[in-house]
Every structure is written in C-alpha cells, then in structure tokens.
Amino acid sequence: MGKVIVVTSGKGGVGKTTSSAALGAALAQNGDKVVVVDFDVGLRNLDLVMGAERRVVYDLVNVIQGEAKLTQALIRDKRVETLYLLPASQTRDKDNLTPEGVEKVVASLKKAFDWVICDSPAGIERGATLAMRHADIAIVVTNPEVSSVRDSDRIIGLLDSKTLKAENGERMEKHLLLTRYDSTRAERGDMLKVDDVLEILSIPLLGIIPESMDVLRASNLGSPVTLADENSAPSRAYFDAVRRLRGEALPVTVPGERRSFFGKLFGRKAA
Ligand SMILES: Nc1ncnc2c1ncn2[C@@H]1O[C@H](COP(=O)(O)OP(=O)(O)O)[C@@H](O)[C@H]1O
Ligand SMILES: [Mg+2]
C-alpha cells in the first residue's frame, strides 16, 4: 500500500503546486512509483507546472463521475517513467468532488503507487478538506510571513480534526515546508526568521526552499524544478526534503546562511 501525502496550506500562492510537482518528481527520480493528484478543481495548475497541459483528456472529476476509467485519466510523465499525473478539471466546480468518489479514487491509487501526492487548493473549504481526508502524511507549505503562518496554524487544526486519521484517534504525521525563503529579507526583518516560524507552528521541519528564479524558469518550461535543473538551490532543497520524508535524519540548512537546524528543530515535537 502506498502512502498518501497532502500538500496543503491556508493561504494561496505559497508554493503548494510547485512543491507537489517537485517532491513528486524527486521521489520518482529515485525510482518510486508516484502519482500527483490535482485537487484544485476549477484552477488546473499542476498539469502546466508538469508540462502536461496538452495531454489532458480526462480528469479527476470525470473519474469520480464514472465518465472515464482511472487508467484513462492518468498521464505518464515523458521524462520520468514512474511519475504520473491525475489532472483536475478546469471547467467544473468543486462540488463535483464527492467524498465517496474521492475515497474510491484514493483507495485505487494507493494500491498502484508508492506515493499518492494530493495537491490541495488553499483554504479550509470543501476541496481542501477532501484533499486531506485520506492523508497519512501532511506537508504544510508556509511562507515566512505572518499571514501565511497564521493560516497554517488553522490548517494544522483541521488536520487534527477533519481527517480520517484524526477521527480514528490516530496521529497525523505533519511536516512544515518553508518555501520562498529569502535570507536577505529575513536578515533585514522584512520576513519572519526560521526560528520564529517554528516557534509558532511547532511541527517538524521538512525543509526550507529558497526564493529562486530557477523555480519560475522551470515552471515556464513545464518542468518540476528537480527535473529542470537538478543542481539548483531549490532542487537540492527539495531532494533533501524527500530524504527526510523517507525518514533520514538530515540537518536542515538555511539557504544563504551557514546555520543549520539539527535535532533541535527537526523532529523535536511529535505533534
Ligand atoms: N521557491 C520559489 N521561488 C520563487 N518563486 C516561487 C517559489 N515557489 C513558488 N514560486 C512561485 O509562486 C507562485 C505560486 O506558486 P504555486 O506553487 O502555484 O502556489 P500554490 O499552489 O500554493 O497556490 C508561482 O508563480 C510559483 O512559480
Ligand atoms: Mg496550487
């Protein structure tokens, strides 16, 4: 049985889709079988970031409504053969996602893949709660800004109450992925420092992804950054995050600084 990861956040535009694609690709680049599922119905972003927009025929809503088989909707990546995408619909609205439908699709995907990565819409509404519902692991994507951190706190509350794991009294494994981190701006006080974010959210740190033009360049090429440029700073940060996801105790370095967090922050509190 594969593991289900939800990539979630309170605020939009923090880097969920970018991170879903990059983490999914990085896991697949290591040989695992991965599917990245776009739950952002109405927006359809993930297929663009993964360079598959012209190959979308059927989507998640078609599968849920019985208009297509799962195998017809899955798109296999042209670069990494163990990487797949289940796209979202651009035209339907979120109400087309039913809890029963989502449950069936996720159950089938878990049987066929090592990792099922659910790219969630932002916020606390239906689409987001459906995306997190069946997760074994949650990655909370946060930018080093007060509003983003505050909204992440709310999402952590939802993860601990609205998911199947929570309802069954089990612990939801939660990780913080701090994205778009700019050490110069943090130094100037324009952004929150890593310690401040961790103080407020107190879930284990999966990684810090620097703000970087490499991400924009990759996304314009229709490629997850870990595929477009394996050695760029954001790619290295994503590859390291994947190693931690696999359970390795790897110190988290702060991009642009010599400091690293080890032990003290990563895995400090099994929230
Ligand atoms: N590390 C980064 N550096 C620079 N830009 C980034 C980074 N991560 C994400 N972005 C950009 O931020 C915007 C929002 O990212 P996206 O992944 O779509 O967020 P979300 O899915 O949370 O709405 C996109 O234009 C994306 O290219
Ligand atoms: Mg998105």
Residue 66 φ/ψ region, left for φ over 0, alpha for ψ in the -120 to 50 degree band, beta for the rest: left
Mean pLDDT score, 178-204: 92
Select from 18, 36, 147, 236 the residue to mutate for testing ligand 1; criterion: most ligand atoms less than 8 Å from CB.
18
Beta carbon of 127 within 6 Å of any ligand 1 atom? no
As given in the structure block, the two tokens for residue 135 are 């997760």
The rounded percent of the chain whose pLDDT value lies above 90 is 84
Distances, alpha carbon 89 to alpha carbons 20, 37, 148, in Å: 17, 11, 27
CA of 216 to the centre of ligand 1 (A): 8
Nearest-CA neighbor of 64 among 95, 97, 92?
97
What are the φ and ψ backbone dihedral angles of 86, each rounded to 5 degrees?
Answer: -110, 105
Query: Which atom of ligand 1 approaches the CA of 13 most closely?
Result: 23
Q: Which pTM was predicted?
A: 0.95
Contact assessment for residue 110 and residue 100, using Cβ atoms and an 8 Å cutoff: no
Beta carbon of 16 within 6 Å of any ligand 1 atom? yes
Res. 262 pLDDT band, cuts 50 70 90:
low
The whole-number pLDDT of residue 270 equals: 41
Per-chain mean pLDDT for the chain? 92
Q: Would you say residue 91 has pLDDT above 80?
A: no
CA of 174 to the centre of ligand 1 (A): 21
Mean pLDDT score, 163-180: 96
Beta carbon of 143 within 6 Å of any ligand 1 atom? no
Task: Name the one residue in this structure whose structure tokens are 């931690």.
Answer: 244
Beta carbon of 234 within 6 Å of any ligand 1 atom? yes
Q: Return d(Cα 44, Cα 88) in angstroms, integer.
A: 5
CA of 179 to the centre of ligand 1 (A): 8
Strands 75-76 and 83-86: antiparallel
Q: Would you say residue 268 has pLDDT above 80?
A: no
Task: Name the one residue in this structure whose structure tokens are 């619909």.
Answer: 89
Greater model confidence, 100 or 43: 100
Res. 181 pLDDT band, cuts 50 70 90:
very high
Which residues surround the ion ligand 2 when the cut-off is CB under 5 Å? 16-17, 45
Strand partners, 210: 181
Count the alpha carbons within 13 Å of 148 in the hemisphere toward its beta carbon. Answer: 24
Query: Which atom of ligand 1 approaches the CA of 40 most closely?
Result: 21
pLDDT in tens, 30-52: 999 999 999 998 777 999 999 99
Secondary structure of 75-116 in the HEC alphabet? EECCCCCCEEEECCCCCCCHHHCCHHHHHHHHHHHHHHCCEE
Mean pLDDT score, 171-196: 93
